[in-house]
């Protein structure tokens, strides 16, 4: 009888030990869950992922590499927008055509590189509300007979591949024309023209004006043709269907337009006051 009582006592102590260990484990798990999820009744928002912004950093004044850093109007703007939206981000030079491919496959989250919003591009990508108004412009050597877009009809035209300038050259000369010389960047197209590889370049007006202002000895002439070149608008580009990011970008972009930050950045790079009302009207 005494031995039986001792066995019962040992069994009871063993069961008690197991229960204590189990309770400690539950307490530890509860503490970990509390640390992760916050106090009871609170819901914490999941941390926002760090975004990768792709650009073609060879398109001053919108984006360019100086001293190993990517700088420009687009870079200052996307920085202000993503900071306003609460995202951490990194800007990466991808090149022009790879930018579109990388955005489509998700290896970059946002594209900004003076990208014109077009109906064709909207089939594959989503865009923010417009952030910049532009148009095409012609750059020719001094003494050229070219005065308008139509005067390029029988000329060799230099363009950056895949840009609006490329599209306008194709509209004039035909998609398969061998008189359209395509280059990886607009600066390369302009350089080629100065070496007589082409007789004129079609590119975005801000880029052409920037080149002329910063190369006073280049002996080139910039030509506007409002009858042939309509206004176009740039947007930040995101992967098709990423509505959450697009809406966050739109909200932040409108905020920086309203609080004066956009105008500050615009004047820094272009020296003029932006027409924010016209941009807002495009929304």
Q: What is the pLDDT, as a whole number, of residue 60?
A: 96
Question: Are both 128 and 239 inside the same structural domain?
Answer: yes
Residues 6+ apart with CB under 8 A from 276: 257, 262, 263
Residue 17 placed within a domain: no
**CB neighbour list of residue 19: distance below 8 Å, 6 or more residues apart:** none
Start-end of H helices in 86-159: 96-105, 119-122
Separation in Å, CA 93 to CA 54, 198, 240: 6, 27, 21
Task: Say whether both 157 and 188 belong to one domain.
Answer: yes
Q: What is the pLDDT of residues 167-216, one digit of tens each?
A: 999 999 999 999 999 999 999 999 999 999 999 999 999 999 999 999 99
Question: Can you tell me the distance from the alpha carbon of 111 to that of 140, in angstroms, rounded to the nearest whole number?
Answer: 30
3-state secondary structure of 160: strand
Q: Kindly state whether residue 250 falls inside one of the protein's structural domains.
A: yes
Q: Which residue is listed with tokens 């030509």?
A: 223
Residue 32 has pLDDT above 90, yes or no: no
| Residue 48 confidence (pLDDT) | 80
pTM: predicted TM-score of the whole model, two decimal places: 0.80
- For residue 22, what pLDDT is reported? 47
**Long-range Cβ contacts of 83-88 (<8 Å, 24+ apart):** 84/252, 84/255, 84/256, 84/261, 85/248, 85/249, 85/251, 85/252, 86/48, 87/48, 87/49, 87/50, 87/51, 87/248, 88/48, 88/50, 88/51
Final residue of a domain: which of 185, 203, 223?
Answer: 223
User: Confidence band (pLDDT; 50, 70, 90) for 45?
Assistant: low
Number of structural domains in the chain: 2
């Amino acid at each position: 009888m005494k031995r039986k009582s001792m066995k019962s006592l040992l069994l009871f102590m063993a069961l008690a030990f197991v229960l204590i260990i189990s309770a400690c484990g539950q307490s530890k798990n509860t503490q970990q869950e509390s640390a992760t999820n916050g106090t009871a009744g609170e819901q914490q928002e999941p941390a926002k992922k760090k975004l990768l912004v792709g650009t073609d950093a060879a398109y001053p004044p919108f984006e360019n590499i100086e001293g190993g850093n990517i700088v420009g109007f687009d870079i200052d703007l996307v920085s202000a927008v993503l900071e306003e939206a609460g995202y951490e981000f990194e800007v990466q030079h991808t090149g022009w055509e790879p930018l579109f491919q990388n955005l489509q496959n998700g290896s970059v989250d946002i594209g900004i590189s003076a990208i014109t919003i077009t109906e064709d591009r909207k089939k594959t990508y989503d865009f923010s509300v417009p952030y910049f108004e532009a148009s095409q412009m012609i750059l020719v050597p001094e003494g050229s007979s070219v005065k308008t877009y139509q005067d390029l009809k029988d000329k060799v035209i230099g363009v950056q591949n895949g840009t609006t300038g490329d599209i306008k050259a194709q509209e004039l000369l035909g998609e398969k024309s061998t008189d359209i010389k395509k280059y990886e960047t607009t600066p390369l197209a302009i350089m080629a023209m100065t070496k007589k590889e082409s007789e004129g370049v079609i590119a975005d007006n801000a880029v052409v004006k920037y080149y002329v202002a910063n190369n006073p000895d280049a002996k080139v002439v910039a030509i506007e043709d409002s009858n042939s070149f309509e206004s176009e608008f740039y947007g930040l580009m995101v992967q098709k269907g990423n509505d959450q990011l697009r809406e966050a970008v739109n909200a932040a972009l409108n905020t920086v337009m309203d609080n004066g930050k956009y105008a500050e950045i615009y004047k820094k790079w272009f020296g003029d006051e932006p027409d924010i009302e016209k941009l807002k009207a495009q929304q």
